[in-house]
């Protein structure tokens, strides 16, 4: 199998589908962090509240960036689909199905869930078509597919979205990044 077939992003529609999946994946992680954050007393647990709050903000940032990228490649982010509105607990979308994402108060069980969600991909993890072993592996497949399509079709054929649909620059909370428009 060649490198393109391995990551299952061979067409613009494949790329758009994966970017919508990224929105679904990031959306699924937001409520668990928010639930843990709201269970904390920031006066008694200021450091924990700051860390969980910054991760929550990062997940929102990731969702906005995925939506910007989907807009940039001519897709339309959907934020009201049944896939986004499923009840908890539920499997991590398009990831390791053994990770049951649930709403928990801050504590050992919530921290173990967060570690499973954020587990890095092993260096030799191959790209897959769906049900990626880690979020990192999922995003590596998107990156590889995006590069392959730009090499094959040219950036002008890949980035066909309306720049007016981009969420502009802003910074979320105390996270490590900010939202930026994506046009190339």
Please write the tens of the pLDDT for every residue from 132-156.
778 888 888 899 999 999 999 999 9
pTM for the model:
0.87
Does residue 90 carry a pLDDT above 80? yes
Read off the pLDDT of each residue in 34-47 and give the average, rounded to a whole number. Answer: 94
Q: What pLDDT score does 118 carry?
A: 85
Say how many C-beta atoms besides its own lie within 10 A of residue 139's C-beta.
17
Q: What pLDDT score does 124 carry?
A: 66
Q: In the chain, what are the domain boundaries? A: 3-179
Q: Which of 17-21, 24-28, 42-46, 124-128 has the lowest mean pLDDT?
A: 124-128
Only one residue has tokens 């309306």, namely 162
Q: What percent of the chain clears pLDDT 70, i.e. is strictly above it?
A: 86
Nearest to 58 by CA among 25, 23, 30: 30
CATH architecture of 3-179: Up-down Bundle (1.20)
């Amino acid at each position: 199998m060649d490198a393109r077939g391995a990551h299952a992003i061979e067409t613009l529609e494949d790329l758009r589908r994966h970017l919508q999946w990224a929105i679904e994946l990031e959306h699924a992680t937001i409520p668990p962090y928010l639930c843990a954050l709201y269970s904390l007393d920031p006066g008694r647990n200021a450091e924990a509240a700051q860390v969980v709050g910054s991760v929550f903000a990062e997940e929102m940032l990731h969702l906005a960036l995925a939506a910007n990228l989907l807009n940039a490649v001519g897709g339309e982010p959907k934020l009201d689909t049944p896939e986004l509105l499923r009840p908890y607990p539920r499997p991590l979308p398009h990831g390791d199905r053994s990770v049951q994402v649930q709403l928990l108060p801050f504590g050992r069980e919530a921290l173990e869930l967060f570690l499973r969600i954020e587990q890095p991909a092993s260096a030799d993890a191959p790209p897959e078509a769906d049900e990626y072993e880690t979020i990192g592996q999922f995003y590596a497949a998107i990156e590889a597919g995006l590069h392959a399509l730009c090499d094959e079709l040219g950036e002008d054929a890949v980035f066909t979205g309306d720049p007016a649909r981009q969420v502009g620059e802003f910074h979320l909370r105390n996270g490590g990044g900010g939202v930026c428009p994506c046009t190339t």
